[in-house]
Chain A
Amino acid sequence: AQTIHQWPVAEIKAVGSPLSLGCTIKGKSSPNLYWYWQATGGTLQQLFYSITVGQVESVVQLNLSASRPKDDQFILSTEKLLLSHSGFYLCAWGTGENTLYFGAGTRLSVL
């Protein structure tokens, strides 16, 4: 069975500080991977997707970057956090039936 693990579970960070969020998928080779963001009270927005190692496509510009250093790993990061980065970050992997399976998410509070 496939498992998806996100870390950390929650973060409280200061404006201007760096951020790194991680996501690991086990039990699925060469998965399509996605980062989503949900502002408090807002809808889900896709940020990035990756079909293969080393290749990441940006969907929404939010002063964030993503990398896929390994087949089963997807990293979301920024060098300088903004207040507007607060929210819930979800990593997901996709199937051939176009269904997404999400991790438990990381709640980020930027103060």
Chain B
Amino acid sequence: QQKVQQSPESLTVSEGAMASLNCTFSDRSSDNFRWYRQHSGKGLEVLVSIFSDGEKEEGSFTAHLNRASLHVFLHIREPQPSDSALYLCAVGCNYNVGDNSKLIWGLGTSLVVNP
């Protein structure tokens, strides 16, 4: 059974300082990984999806996948106070276009960016 864990549980950074979030998964055959964020009381916003080892950049967000070490990181370059939100990692395996039950979600990292 796939397990997805995120760390740290909460993170406070100053505006402009790099923020790094970690997501650990347990199934080495996982083949799709994505980062989302959720502002308080709002829906989820997709940030970046990655499907192979290495890095994928979308704006100020960079996902770094290392399947051998079972980690996928999210780096946020020069975060702003508006980036304060809950960041969620989702990991999938043998993706089926209909059945997203194979997407396993972490509990999230709560990021606070201070001005």
Contact A49 B46 (CB under 8 A): no
Bin the interface of chain A by size: 20 to 34
Q: How far is the CB of B69 from chain A (nearest CB, A)?
A: 23
Check B45 against A102 for contact (C-beta < 8 Å): yes
Main secondary structure of the interface of A (DSSP, over half): strand
**Contact yes or no, A44 B97, CB < 8 A:** no
Find out whether the CB atom of B43 lies under 8 angstroms from the CB atom of A44: no
Counting CB contacts under 8 A, is A101 at the interface? yes
- In the complex, are the beta carbons of B92 and A98 less than 8 A apart? yes
Contact (Cβ within 8 A) A57 B32: no
Is the beta-carbon distance between A100 and B107 smaller than 8 angstroms?
A: no
Closest A-chain residue to B4, C-beta based? Answer: A43
Q: Is A59 interfacial (CB-CB < 8 Å)?
A: yes
A residues whose Cβ falls under 8 Å from a Cβ of B: 4, 6, 32, 34, 42-44, 46, 49, 51, 57, 59-60, 90, 92, 94, 96-105, 107
B positions within 8 Å CB-CB of A: 32, 34, 36, 41-46, 49, 88, 90, 92, 95, 97-101, 103, 105-107
